[in-house]
């Protein structure tokens, strides 16, 4: 069975600095997708970034980028120039063929002024 592990329950960063959130996963699949979702206090899950397993190039979306290490089954999220609005829970998620979407335990990120 697939599992997703986020080993950092809480992180904090100063505004304008860079922070990296860690995620590891376990799977025997070769083709899959990985996602980072953001969940602010309003509870609405919002997609931050996605990565296709067969693409070696790391995905980037403005201030958000990932470091995807397929062999190590690692998928970290880097947030550059952190903003107060980035304060939220961040969830790493794995989707295998068939569409089953599995989440990690989450990392609570606080951006401090």
Partner 1 sequence: EAGVAQSPRYKIIEKRQSVAFWCNPISGHATLYWYQQILGQGPKLLIQFQNNGVVDDSQLPKDRFSAERLKGVDSTLKIQPAKLEDSAVYLCASRPTPKGMNTEAFFGQGTRLTVV
Asked if 41 touches partner 1 (CB under 8 A), the answer is: no
Q: Which of 16, 17, 81, 100 binds partner 1 (CB under 8 A)?
A: 100
Distance CA 4, CA 60 (A): 21
Region from 14-22, 42-50, 56-64, 78-86 binding partner 1, contact rule CB under 8 A:
42-50
> Minimum distance between the CB of residue 66 and partner 1, rounded to whole angstroms?
15
Region from 19-27, 39-47, 57-65, 79-87 binding partner 1, contact rule CB under 8 A:
39-47
Q: Which CA distances in Å does 13 have to 20, 35, 73, 106?
A: 10, 22, 25, 16
Stated as kind and residue range, the H or E segment containing 112 is strand 107-112
Which two three-digit tokens encode residue 69? 């290490």
Asked if 64 touches partner 1 (CB under 8 A), the answer is: no
Asked if 98 touches partner 1 (CB under 8 A), the answer is: yes
C-alpha dihedral over 103, 50, 48, 2, to 10 degrees? 10
> Minimum distance between the CB of residue 15 and partner 1, rounded to whole angstroms?
25
């Amino acid at each position: 069975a697939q599992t997703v592990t986020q080993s950092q329950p809480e992180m904090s960063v100063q505004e304008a600095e860079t922070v990296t959130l860690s995620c590891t996963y376990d799977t025997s699949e070769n083709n899959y997708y990985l996602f980072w979702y953001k969940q602010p206090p309003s509870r609405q899950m919002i997609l931050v970034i996605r990565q296709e397993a067969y693409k070696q190039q790391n995905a980037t979306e403005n201030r958000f980028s990932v470091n995807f290490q397929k062999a190590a089954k690692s998928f970290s999220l880097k947030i550059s120039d952190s903003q107060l609005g980035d304060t939220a829970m961040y969830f790493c998620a794995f989707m295998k063929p068939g569409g089953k979407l599995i989440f990690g335990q989450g990392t609570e990120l606080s951006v401090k002024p």
